[in-house]
Amino acid sequence: MADRLYAGLPERTKTRERFEMPQAESFFHGHKTIVRNFASILKVINRDRKHLFKFLAKETATSAAIDETNRLVLNGKFTRDQVNRLVSSYITQFVLCPECKKPDTKVVEKQGVRMLKCEACGALSSVKGL
Ligand SMILES: [Zn+2]
């Protein structure tokens, strides 16, 4: 009878940096997982839709699609925590500057190689799989 749902919620400490990881809003639909704010995550991180899409499909080892309302649809059931961990790992790998850890980066091409250019500290970093 007692509601223990709240007992296990971890406390978040967010003092490391000003950047807040965007949180995926996902839910199950049958055997699929829908990420309804996929478009707004992309907006926050300012990255190519296809790149994040491919990353998530690969990491979840499933086929994925983007529906007509720009939601991400994953074939399979993934909890919101799982989705958020993947989004965070994408951001850590491909968005945050490896030098100063700020998210103010963009993708540039130098001699045909895609690199991460940081607008905060000026660093140009090569990132595998970018
Ligand atoms: Zn930087």
Range with lowest mean pLDDT among 12-26, 66-80, 92-106: 12-26
Residues whose CB falls within 8 Å of the CB of residue 113, separated by 6 or more in sequence, listed in order = 126
Give residue 102 CA to ligand 1 midpoint distance, Å. Answer: 6
Strand partners, 64: 74
- H runs (alpha helix) in 26-79: 38-45, 49-59
Angle between helices 38-45 and 49-59 (to 10 degrees): 120
Give residue 97 CA to ligand 1 midpoint distance, Å. Answer: 5
Model confidence, pTM: 0.83
What does the pLDDT average to over 26-44?
A: 96
Classify residue 92 by its DSSP letter. Answer: H
The neighbourhood of ligand 1, an ion, using CB within 5 A, equals 97, 99-100, 118, 120-121, 123
Fold of 22-95: Alpha-Beta Plaits (3.30.70)
Give residue 118 CA to ligand 1 midpoint distance, Å. Answer: 5
Q: What is the mean pLDDT of the chain?
A: 89
What does the pLDDT average to over 57-81?
A: 96
Is 42 in a helix, a strand, or coil? helix
What is the domain partition of the chain in residue ranges? 22-95, 97-130
